[in-house]
Amino acid sequence: MSARAWHVALVCAGLVFGCASPRERLYTLSGTEPPDVVRPPTLHLLVGPVTIPETVDRPQLVVRRSAVRLVALEQERWAEPLREAIPRVLSEAIRAELPAASVTSLASVSTPQWDMRVFVDVTRFDAIPGERVIIETHWRLQRTGDQTAQEGNIVARVTVQGAPQDYDALVAAEAAGLAKIGVQLARVIETEAAQLTNP
């Protein structure tokens, strides 16, 4: 092969390897460990629907870079849709706090039977790498057969225990924020359930 042909081959090889896309990294929101003791359920709770902002409802992790700019990270992606992961984490956090309750997310059943149902609108899901995560929610709690509902707001702020490029730490902070919201929802549900048994 001539020197010119070798040069062309090397340039082409360099273009192929140089233009190869970096490998994607996949993340999941870790939930709360289930309770050690499983009791016969005295309350059937349905979680959902849970809505999330359209800005984060995408395969990529979305981070806030400024007050007016969000960035979708092409190589940092969710292993499952965020609209499914968030109800799962909330349900697991509630179940851990209420071991006598059967907690089901709306996405996992077709014709659910429930005593109480909690609707959750995630109105803010901000992740600032290396700094903090802020999650704001509006919830409504309804008893079966009752058209009225309690409602309120819960905000979770969690410090990110990692550098700006540590996306494992960022996702861990998001999961911790959702767990905090789940714990507070469990307290509301527990109070309402007590009124059901002791009207």
Q: Of all residues in the chain, what percent carry a pLDDT higher than 90?
A: 65
Question: Which CATH class, in words, describes the domain spanning 28-197?
Answer: alpha beta
Range of weakest confidence among 9-13, 88-92, 135-139: 9-13
pTM of the entire structure? 0.84
Return the domain boundaries, the chain.
Answer: 28-197
Task: For residue 54, name the pLDDT band (cuts at 50, 70, 90).
Answer: very high
Rounded CA gap, 82 and 28, in Å?
9
Structure tokens at 26: 């996949």
